Structure 1
Amino acid sequence: MWSPAPPALPTSHSLARGECTINASSSPPAVELAGITKRFPGVVANHDIHLSVRKGTVHAIVGENGAGKSTLMKILYGMQKPDEGTIAVDGREVSFSDPGDAIARGIGMVHQHFMLADNLTVAENTVLGSEKLYGIGARARARIKEISEAYGLGIRPDALVEDLGVADRQRVEILKVLYRGARTLILDEPTAVLVPQEVEALFDNLRELKAEGLTVIFISHKLGEVLSVADDITVIRRGTTVASVDPADVTAKQLAELMVGSELPSPQTGESTVTDTPMLRVENLTLTEHDAVDGARTVLDGITFTIRKGEVLGLAGVEGNGQTELIEALVGIRHADGGTITLGDEDITSWPTRRRREGGVGYIPEDRHRHGLLLESPLWENRILGHVTEAPNSRGPWLDIKAARADTERIVVDYDVRTPGIDVTAASLSGGNQQKLIVGREMSHDPRLLIAAHPTRGVDVGAQAQIWDQIRAARREGLAVLLISADLDELIGLSDTLRVMYRGRLVADADPATITPEALGSAMTGAASGHLEDGPHGSSAAGRGEDRDGGEER
């Protein structure tokens, strides 16, 4: 079914460890990495990595956070240089000093966080930095249209990027690398922000790319998607390649076991813990943004909902439909134009952020780098963030550094934050370990309300399971949770109540015990509203028990 890694590659034409050997007369791999090792102070990120990617295939790379996937791709894209090992493209050994060298050899990368200028058109974004290729006029536009039609991208060159949804923005990123002549595309977590229909459209694009002879390296934590789209899968664990897998011969459960040594976790929650005691009441919340160009724009329009103690309210929606503004209004970063926010029996509408935090509002931000961490500060300083005035971080008006350090040590153990120590910077941790540190910090203050925005985005199945367990355990103790996630299985599995947000309004609700991801995704695009009925394929949450509360607000 899968094969373990042999001790070394026998020739420059062999496939990744555990695969068969290509004859010298065969077409060389699109990309071949041999013996790649990369060390950082105190950490070996990659150790003797072997990877071979066949031309015209989708090759998936899976592994835990911290397994070395991102470092390996940065090496392949010229962002970092390996300490040992070789890179071959089309059978020729190469050395990359920067991404420009990689692009010149036909390798392009689409990062998880898009790198587009919102105030420019698709054509302007595409041409930017590559004006020498086709100029900036008619030739460039003609080339953009040619690529878009050839690969089924459906891109409008004159569209403003700020008017595009996340799926279209992703296609623009793919267009950019194809415009620069890429024949091998690296896609880093490409489905993280897409609804199911958009994922299928992306996979159709990938199949079109493959049919035209292009090669795709696909990095993802969503194992079901990997199995559906990949031709080959390489598993990386603890910095080295451990197996090569034929997707036809392995299940998601077996793939998870290869990655982390345990079964694929499930977000499903069996028992209801919902009480009749309201913890958060939001009534008729409105927020208007003022723009010098477009004038006033309503981003929150009469938002009303209640979350009770022991309840997880899941909020579904394509990004950009008001979820971020709602979170910021609840945390106190923005002040709403109208409506009220009540926590317990206190009106907190006018409270500043610090008072809300001290009052029991926990917050897992959607962007851990921008809003959750000081990347260049040590872990113990990051443990203090957002809770400067609370024990154990302070004693009276003074910071209690000794107590904060001791509690950071506890969080590292309790939440399995894998780190050499608490004095290393947050930037030195993998994304999953950064996220576990944030979750540990927020849960350590016994919040009454937890706002969890994409709590498992970009983390592996092991970290995902631990975060889900922490949320479920706190829910049993009476925690009220507002869960915002692009992972519809996570939303459906963890939530007691589901609401759908579209263009700043709550437009639909659903029973998580019966709704399917497809039906929920349809409502997220504005195609359905009101109470969503059971999906056509039966319950998507089977086995979670029949004592769950339904999706109606009380």
Structure 2
Amino acid sequence: MSLELKGITKSFGSFLANDAIDLKVADGEIHAILGENGAGKSTLMNIVYGLLQPEAGSISIDEKVVQILQPADALDLGIGMVHQHFMLVPVFTVAENIVLGHEQTKRGILTLDQAKLKIKEIADEFKFDIDPDALIEEIPVGIQQRVEIIRALMYDAKVLILDEPTAVLTPQETDELLNMMRALRAKGRSIIFITHKLREVKEVADKITIIRRGKVVGSVAPTTSQEELASLMVGREVDLIPDKSAVIAGSNMLVISDLNIFDTSGRKIVKDLSLEIKEGEILAIAGVQGNGQSELARAIINLEAHVTGSIKLDSDEILGRSVSQTLQTGVAYIPESRELDGLIGSFSIAENLILDTHELPPVASRGVMDMGYIKDNAQRLIKEFDVRTQSIYDTASSLSGGNKQKVVLARELSRSVKLVIASQPTRGLDVGSIEFVYNRLLAERAANKAILLFSTELDEVIALADRIAVIYKGEIVGIVKSDVTREKLGLMMAGVK
């Protein structure tokens, strides 16, 4: 089944998200869509799936113009979508999740027994390994994704939209997904593959369309180099393989010993964890999301309440101090969620740049803030960190994702620090902003700071780290050098020691 979009236009207020976009997906084709964060990719796919309505343009299937007013219309026309964040009920079985929502289309009611038979039929056809009676909360993320794909295939989807499908997968699960996509293509399905991972695009796509600022800037073959794809995405040359000098590590800066982190019910999330990181090195904590790395990062700056063990910074015990005291001992913290933990959206950029130091000299003296210093500080940091804004008094919430992250980096790295904790520092960023973050972290390394990098991106880990500690179910399963193969790292991330 072929899909064609002509002149699709969609705006949100004065912001033009899609500007007269034309796109053609051929029958039995894997068509990748690349673009910066905010380029308009998801908006376009939400229009195709009926979640949004365009202001202009048309959608055709097999050269016939169709109307898609809601997702049920898309499903009836043979268009399925697997969202980046899975739409599954954790306490339901695979089959129960498949049945949910099926009655909303013209295909009628589907019983549980019918669903189980159909799941087995699809699983056999595409060589999926899946148990219809398994609870969603008890199966790996990669298998949960297969459930979403099977659910789309149950509606007899001929065009399948995959939105950032490898974001939460191990390398092995990613390879399995790419093979699954090839199998679907071989059976005549068309796949729209939305991603920012250039290596995967080149590996599996038949055609690549690049969207920049709401417009299609080109459609190219998968033989196009990663460098050229990146430059098409951002409109300039980009270097995503940073030039990293040889490590000259000093003495231990951070020493974690026998660390245990518990949730509110007393369940152990991080188990007897010990780590050392030296001055002048980047130690990456690699693992699939949800294996305790978020809690570990928060524990080091004393944001976790239930922690035992020892955390020493430059030989001083810091576990049990307040967050403010921890930061003042020389810790920079780039949190996993810049919106929730890194910025106050309603505050100005200038105010966000002094959140850690608003009560301390030279920002304040005897409880009175120096507004002249705050202004000068903001202007200096905005220039140094290339924050794109019209005014230092604009609110943080008005900034793009990349510029928000630059504000967090500017605030944290402008202080005198010994340790930088960078938790998923490039999540949701476009390639231009990623390049900037890489260069700033390497500059801190060159300045003899200890960098603790938490990342689920293997290419990022290998590019930046001097050593890599792999975490699985709250335990370190091994520490390796950055010349490790992706295959070995992927096995370790799956718990193989």
Determine helix, strand or coil for the equivalent of 2:452: strand
Find the partner of 2:34 among 46, 54, 62. 62
Distance change in 2, residues 1:81/1:329 (3 Å)? same
CA contact 2:263–2:306 (8 Å) conserved in 1: no
Distance change in 2, residues 1:220/1:394 (3 Å)? farther
Question: What is the Cα deviation at residue 219 of structure 1?
Answer: 1.4
**2:470 is aligned with 1:509:** no
Distance change in 2, residues 1:288/1:174 (3 Å)? same
Residue 265 of structure 1 corresponds to: 240
CA contact 2:36–2:429 (8 Å) conserved in 1: yes
Distance change in 2, residues 1:379/1:136 (3 Å)? farther
**2:388 is aligned with 1:414:** no
Find the partner of 2:218 among 231, 235, 243. 243
Distance change in 2, residues 1:412/1:179 (3 Å)? farther
Residue 322 of structure 2 corresponds to: 352
Question: What is the Cα deviation at residue 389 of structure 1?
Answer: 4.5
Q: For 1:183-240, what per-residue CA distance to the aligned partner results, in whole angstroms no more than 9, with x for missing partners?
A: 2222222222222211110101111111222211111121111011001101122321
Residue 89 of structure 1 corresponds to: 61
Task: Choose 502-511 or 354-363, whichever is displaced more.
Answer: 354-363
Residue 232 of structure 1 corresponds to: 207
Q: For 1:44-81, what per-residue CA distance to the aligned partner results, in whole angstroms no more than 9, with x for missing partners?
A: 32222211111211100112223222322233233333
Q: Which runs of 5+ in 1 are unaligned?
A: 1-28, 529-554
Given the two structures, how large is their TM-score scaled by the length of structure 2?
0.89
Which residue identity does 1:238 align to in structure 2?
Answer: R
**2:253 is aligned with 1:279:** yes
Alpha-carbon distance between aligned partners in 1 of 2:76 and 2:366, rounded to the nearest angstrom: 59
Which residue identity does 1:527 align to in structure 2?
Answer: V
Question: What is the Cα deviation at residue 340 of structure 1?
Answer: 0.8
Which residue identity does 2:331 align to in structure 1?
Answer: V
Alpha-carbon distance between aligned partners in 2 of 1:376 and 1:77, rounded to the nearest angstrom: 33
CA contact 2:299–2:307 (8 Å) conserved in 1: no
Distance change in 2, residues 1:434/1:172 (3 Å)? farther
Alpha-carbon distance between aligned partners in 2 of 1:145 and 1:453, rounded to the nearest angstrom: 40
**2:458 is aligned with 1:488:** yes
Alpha-carbon distance between aligned partners in 1 of 2:43 and 2:369, rounded to the nearest angstrom: 36
Find the partner of 1:327 among 284, 297, 307. 297
Which residue identity does 1:282 align to in structure 2?
Answer: I
Alpha-carbon distance between aligned partners in 2 of 1:344 and 1:393, rounded to the nearest angstrom: 26
CA contact 1:57–1:231 (8 Å) conserved in 2: yes
Distance change in 2, residues 1:177/1:346 (3 Å)? same
RMSD of the TM alignment (CA)? 2.9
Aligned-pair identity in percent equals 43
Question: What is the Cα deviation at residue 339 of structure 1?
Answer: 0.7
Given the two structures, how large is their TM-score scaled by the length of structure 1?
0.80
Question: What is the Cα deviation at residue 310 of structure 1?
Answer: 1.8
Question: What is the Cα deviation at residue 468 of structure 1?
Answer: 0.1
Find the partner of 1:165 among 125, 140, 154. 140
Which residue identity does 2:454 align to in structure 1?
Answer: I
CA contact 1:192–1:458 (8 Å) conserved in 2: no
Q: For 1:390-444, what per-residue CA distance to the aligned partner results, in whole angstroms no more than 9, with x for missing partners?
A: 6787665467777656655555443344456566665655444443343334323
**2:121 is aligned with 1:146:** yes
**2:495 is aligned with 1:521:** no
Distance change in 2, residues 1:410/1:125 (3 Å)? farther
Distance change in 2, residues 1:499/1:442 (3 Å)? same
Q: For 1:138-162, what per-residue CA distance to the aligned partner results, in whole angstroms no more than 9, with x for missing partners?
A: 1222223333333333222222222
Determine helix, strand or coil for the equivalent of 1:247: coil
Which structure 2 residues correspond to residues 149-548 of structure 1 after superposition, within 5 A?
Answer: 149-248=124-223, 250-260=224-234, 261-276=236-251, 278-289=252-263, 291=265, 297-373=267-343, 383=353, 389=359, 397=367, 407=377, 410-419=380-389, 429-512=399-482, 514-528=483-497
Q: For 1:486-522, what per-residue CA distance to the aligned partner results, in whole angstroms no more than 9, with x for missing partners?
A: 222221221122212222221211122x311111112
Count of residue pairs the alignment pairs up:
493
